[in-house]
């Protein structure tokens, strides 16, 4: 087939005619007006100011435990529950459900859907159903800038604001802001708060049915908010409508899902959270070191213990659990009932200064070990002694005479502790506590030698830090409550590692309800009790596994109770908690070994004198000492051989003390024939004199029974004279 040939003249004429038509169209006034309008719109689009997106919006503080479990959601400045949640932490199912229901063309329009606007305008005629035309961007503009969009003027401002947002922010930023400001009923805003309050989970863990239920609430939050104890018919209807509009073949069970809100949340770890919120102001999310499971276990043990012992006057208790490896606070119970005003339950017992009783005694012995005053088997004197105007007594008002240092600490004897505290130098106990960060508002002379017996008030936090230093080889570290706080690789050394190890060894005591034979095979617990003067505070503190646990029993108003004794009031609760923790989180038993490279040596000692055994020391025990520091010398018990027990007796071989001439009247029941008999006779004599209270103190003198038995003045700390048959009565 031949092609038609168009002459050049005709072709040129046709081309010229087309160009002429185009010129006429361009020159038309309406075209120029349209072009001018387009350029104006373009320049206006470029010149649109950048509006604030979320600046100035306050969010709730969200406090979580170390495993991400929610502890508390606070109200924002405008009294809303609003948790900031990034877009990548929101479930994709929720994002998809929201876009399908609210704005399925969201990713394609410039903030305003003109088709939807035109359809909505046409439906304004009488007799037609009204349809919404707001896009997600327009809804964000209404929520963010508090616009009234019921009028044409308000709608125009909403459109302009939506265009401004689209001009300066990405689609992801706009969607993220909308999902954090959308209303979900009552005073709940944002998917973060809605998912936590309604379903008890983060927005990232919402299921598909839960996501669909939340996606339909913002359209009518007042009527569709989830209810606690019943279904919401309006929400169920909107949810069914979503499935119809989505035209997706969902499972029948998912379509019948009826969402209900969880029951009202109670305060979790209230004292711990209150302390953090006061210190961490302005932070949207606080991830703590708390272990909620351990916290609730200790709360249950305390509640059960108080309920069982209420008849004994025990109404309140506090406890603090710390992991010694990183000093994380795992549980903090400030009182037995936070909401009980009768016991002042909102007072935090872990931070309230209280008299610690005897809980500071281990640090007297630790300093004495470090300064070379004693080793664990040194013989100390538990006898009446006056320190200037201070005359301390033991808790049981008795004295046991010569006693090993380890036994003196285990039995919490006051006189040996005070005598050691009087000999401490550089540092003294006061200087040691001040260096460790313990707040002592008074000067050292005002506390005097009563400091080891609870003469100053300290907090449970301070005690836990000090006992954790014993477990960490003498290194003091601060408590750690939030994940953003750095973990201290090494702490500040406040005592020798050897002294810390030996002090803990001296605290390895049998439990109150069992004997030493059983405790030797059980997992070790290094613990100490304390009772304040006047029976106002009962303490018990333990180091076990890799934890430090402190327990306090008392009243915040300072009321005394004869039951408030550390061993009978606080120790049972302490071991109940320890047993529960070990049962719920079992761990292999680890032996308590000296720190690597420690300057420690284990040797045999004379069981009588506490010195290195000599040829006549038939009774020997093994123990630790610090070479070059511990006061150790050969036993001088061979001198007992030449002593005449009928005319002159010396306590040198037993207690390591010197004697004077006034010891001549100290007679033994019979003259021993050999060394072992002499030692046993001394043991029996001191048991009779000290253990059975065959004496009593009057003023500054000691009166001894039987007659003509007189103790060494240096040993008793006061002059002694024979006791007459009956004391004279004053007229």
The CATH number of whichever domain residue 199 belongs to comes to 1.10.3810.10
Q: How far apart are alpha carbons 240 and 247 in whole angstroms?
A: 11
Tell whether 9 is covered by a domain. no
Q: How confident is the model at residue 642 (pLDDT cuts 50, 70, 90)?
A: very low
Q: Is 63 helix (H, G, I), strand (E, B) or coil?
A: strand
Residue 372 has pLDDT above 50, yes or no: yes
Q: What pLDDT, on the 0 to 100 scale, is given for residue 388?
A: 84
Q: How far apart are alpha carbons 371 and 56 in whole angstroms?
A: 60
Q: How far apart are alpha carbons 442 and 169 in whole angstroms?
A: 61
Picking from 551, 573, 598, the residue at the C-terminal end of a domain is: 598
Residue 325 has pLDDT above 80, yes or no: yes
Q: What pLDDT, on the 0 to 100 scale, is given for residue 444?
A: 93
| C-alpha dihedral sign at 504, 507, 513, 517 | positive
Domain count, the chain: 4
Q: What pLDDT, on the 0 to 100 scale, is given for residue 43?
A: 56
* 553 and 566 share one domain: yes
* 373 and 436 share one domain: yes
* 657 and 691 share one domain: yes
* 150 and 170 share one domain: yes
Query: Active site includes 461?
Result: no
Q: Is 268 helix (H, G, I), strand (E, B) or coil?
A: coil
Mean pLDDT of 113-125: 71
Tell whether 474 is covered by a domain. yes
Picking from 255, 277, 310, the residue at the C-terminal end of a domain is: 255
Q: What pLDDT, on the 0 to 100 scale, is given for residue 28?
A: 64
Residue 398 has pLDDT above 70, yes or no: yes
Q: What is the pLDDT of residues 326-367, one digit of tens each?
A: 999 999 999 999 999 999 999 999 999 999 999 999 999 999
* 110 and 217 share one domain: yes
Q: What is the pLDDT of residues 500-521, one digit of tens each?
A: 999 999 999 888 776 554 555 6
Look at residues 101, 61, 301, 294 and name the one whose alpha carbon lies nearest to residue 214.
Answer: 101
Residue 8 has pLDDT above 60, yes or no: no
For the chain, the average pLDDT equals 80
Mean pLDDT of 462-481: 96
Q: What pLDDT, on the 0 to 100 scale, is given for residue 638?
A: 47
Q: What is the pLDDT of residues 194-220, one digit of tens each?
A: 999 888 889 999 998 889 889 999 988
SS (H, E, C) 178-242: HHHHCECCCCEECHHHHHHHHHCCCHHHCCHHHHHHHHCCCCCHHHHCCCCCCCCHHHHHHHHHH
Look at residues 533, 528, 564 and name the one whose alpha carbon lies nearest to residue 544.
Answer: 528
Picking from 598, 622, 650, the residue at the C-terminal end of a domain is: 598
Hey, which residues does 539 pair with through a beta bridge? 530, 552
Tell whether 699 is covered by a domain. yes
Q: How confident is the model at residue 293 (pLDDT cuts 50, 70, 90)?
A: very high
pTM, two decimals, is 0.79
Residue 547's domain comprises 287-354+459-487+500-598
Tell whether 19 is covered by a domain. no
* 163 and 207 share one domain: yes
Q: How confident is the model at residue 22 (pLDDT cuts 50, 70, 90)?
A: low
CB 109 within 8 A of CB 133: no
Q: How confident is the model at residue 186 (pLDDT cuts 50, 70, 90)?
A: confident
Q: How confident is the model at residue 251 (pLDDT cuts 50, 70, 90)?
A: low
Ordered strands of the 70-73 beta sheet: 70-73, 62-64, 285-287
* 188 and 101 share one domain: yes
* 237 and 96 share one domain: yes
Q: How far apart are alpha carbons 384 and 697 in whole angstroms?
A: 8
CB 675 within 8 A of CB 685: no
Percentage of residues in the chain having pLDDT higher than 70: 75
* 555 and 697 share one domain: no
* 432 and 465 share one domain: no
Mean pLDDT of 371-377: 94
Residue 533 has pLDDT above 50, yes or no: yes
Q: What pLDDT, on the 0 to 100 scale, is given for residue 31?
A: 59
**Least confident range of 94-108, 239-253, 372-386, 528-542:** 239-253
Q: What pLDDT, on the 0 to 100 scale, is given for residue 332?
A: 98
Q: How far apart are alpha carbons 365 and 2 in whole angstroms?
A: 121
CATH at 540: 3.40.710.10
Tell whether 614 is covered by a domain. no
Tell whether 275 is covered by a domain. no
SS (H, E, C) 560-599: CCCCCCHHHHHHHHHHHHHHHHHHHCCCCCCCCCCCCCCC
Residue 164 has pLDDT above 90, yes or no: no
Hey, which residues does 265 pair with through a beta bridge? none
* 162 and 80 share one domain: yes
Tell whether 728 is covered by a domain. no
Cβ neighbours for 559, distance < 8 A, ≥ 6 positions apart: 536
Mean pLDDT of 247-252: 59
Q: Is 323 helix (H, G, I), strand (E, B) or coil?
A: strand
Query: What is the DSSP pairing of strand 81-82 with strand 188-189?
Result: parallel
Q: How confident is the model at residue 676 (pLDDT cuts 50, 70, 90)?
A: very low
- CA 162 to the chain's CA centroid: 47
* 88 and 172 share one domain: yes
Mean pLDDT of 495-499: 96
Q: How confident is the model at residue 669 (pLDDT cuts 50, 70, 90)?
A: very low
The single residue of 60, 91, 102, 335 carrying the catalytic annotation is 102
CB 120 within 8 A of CB 136: no
CB 575 within 8 A of CB 512: yes
Residue 674 has pLDDT above 50, yes or no: no
Cβ neighbours for 578, distance < 8 A, ≥ 6 positions apart: 525, 542, 544, 549
Query: Active site includes 676?
Result: no
The single residue of 335, 358, 381, 630 carrying the catalytic annotation is 358
Residue 632 has pLDDT above 90, yes or no: no
Tell whether 243 is covered by a domain. yes
């Amino acid at each position: 087939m031949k092609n038609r040939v168009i002459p050049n003249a005709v072709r040129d004429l046709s081309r010229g005619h087309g160009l002429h038509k185009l010129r006429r169209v361009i020159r038309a006034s309406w075209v120029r007006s349209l072009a001018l309008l387009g350029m104006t719109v373009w320049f206006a689009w470029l010149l649109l100011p950048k509006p604030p997106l979320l600046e100035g919006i306050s969010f709730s503080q969200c406090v979580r435990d170390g495993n991400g479990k929610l502890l508390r959601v606070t109200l924002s400045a405008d009294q809303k529950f609003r948790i900031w949640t990034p877009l990548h932490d929101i479930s994709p199912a929720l994002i998809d459900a929201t876009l399908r229901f609210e704005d399925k063309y969201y990713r394609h329009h410039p903030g305003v859907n003109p088709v939807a606007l035109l359809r909505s305008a046409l439906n304004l005629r009488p007799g037609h159903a009204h349809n919404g035309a707001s896009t997600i961007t327009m809804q964000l503009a209404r929520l963010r800038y508090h616009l009234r969009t019921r009028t044409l003027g308000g709608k125009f401002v909403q459109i302009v604001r939506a265009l401004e947002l689209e001009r300066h922010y990405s689609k992801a930023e706009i969607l993220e802001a909308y999902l954090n400001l959308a209303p979900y009923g009552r005073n709940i805003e944002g998917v973060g708060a809605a998912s936590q309050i309604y379903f008890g989970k983060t927005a990232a863990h919402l299921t598909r049915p839960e996501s669909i239920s939340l996606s339909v609430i913002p359209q009518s939050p007042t009527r569709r908010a989830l209810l606690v104890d019943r279904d919401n018919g309006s929400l169920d209807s909107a949810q069914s409508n979503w499935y119809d509009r989505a035209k997706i073949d969902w499972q029948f069970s998912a379509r019948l899902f009826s969402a209900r809100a969880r029951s009202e949340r109670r305060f979790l770890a209230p004292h711990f959270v209150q302390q953090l919120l006061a210190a961490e102001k302005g932070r949207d999310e606080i991830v703590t070191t708390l272990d909620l499971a351990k916290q609730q276990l200790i709360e249950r043990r305390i509640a059960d213990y108080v309920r069982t012992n209420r008849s004994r006057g025990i109404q309140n208790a506090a406890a603090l659990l710390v992991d010694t490896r990183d000093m994380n606070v795992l549980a903090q119970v400030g009182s037995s009932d936070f909401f009980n005003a009768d016991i002042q339950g909102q007072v935090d017992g872990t931070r309230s200064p209280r008299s610690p009783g005897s809980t500071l005694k281990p640090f007297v012995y630790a300093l004495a070990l470090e300064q070379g005053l004693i080793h664990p088997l040194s013989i100390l004197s538990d006898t009446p002694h006056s320190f200037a105007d201070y005359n301390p007594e033991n808790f049981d008002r008795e004295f046991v005479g010569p006693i090993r240092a380890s036994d003196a600490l285990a039995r919490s004897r006051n006189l040996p502790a005070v005598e050691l505290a009087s000999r401490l130098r550089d540092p003294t106990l006061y200087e040691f506590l001040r260096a460790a960060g313990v707040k002592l508002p008074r000067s050292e002379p005002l506390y005097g030698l009563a400091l080891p017996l609870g003469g100053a008030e300290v907090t449970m936090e301070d005690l836990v830090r000090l006992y954790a230093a014993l477990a960490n080889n003498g290194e003091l570290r601060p408590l750690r409550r939030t994940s953003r706080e750095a973990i201290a690789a090494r702490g500040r050394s406040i005592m020798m590692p050897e002294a810390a190890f030996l002090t803990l060894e001296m605290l390895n005591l049998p439990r109150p309800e069992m004997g030493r034979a059983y405790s030797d095979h059980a997992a070790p617990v290094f613990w100490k009790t304390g009772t304040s003067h006047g029976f106002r505070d009962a303490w018990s503190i333990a180091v076990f596994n890799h934890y430090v646990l402190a327990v306090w029993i008392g009243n915040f108003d300072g009321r005394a109770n004869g039951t408030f004794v550390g061993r009978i009031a606080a120790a049972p609760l302490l071991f109940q908690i320890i047993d529960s923790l070990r049962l719920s989180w079992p761990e292999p038993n680890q032996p308590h070994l000296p720190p690597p490279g420690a300057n420690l040596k284990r040797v045999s000692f004379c069981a009588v004198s506490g010195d290195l055994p000599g040829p006549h020391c038939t009774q020997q025990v093994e123990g630790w000492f610090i070479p070059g520091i511990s006061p150790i010398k050969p036993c001088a018990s061979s001198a007992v051989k030449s002593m005449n027990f009928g005319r002159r007796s010396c306590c040198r071989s037993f207690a390591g003390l010197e004697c004077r001439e006034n010891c001549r009247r100290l007679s033994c029941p019979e003259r021993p024939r050999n060394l072992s008999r002499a030692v046993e006779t001394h043991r029996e004599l001191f048991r009779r004199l000290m253990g059975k209270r065959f004496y009593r103190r009057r003023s500054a003198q000691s009166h001894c029974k039987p007659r003509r038995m007189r103790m060494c003045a240096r040993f008793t700390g006061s002059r002694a004279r024979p006791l007459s048959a009956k004391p004279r009565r004053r007229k």
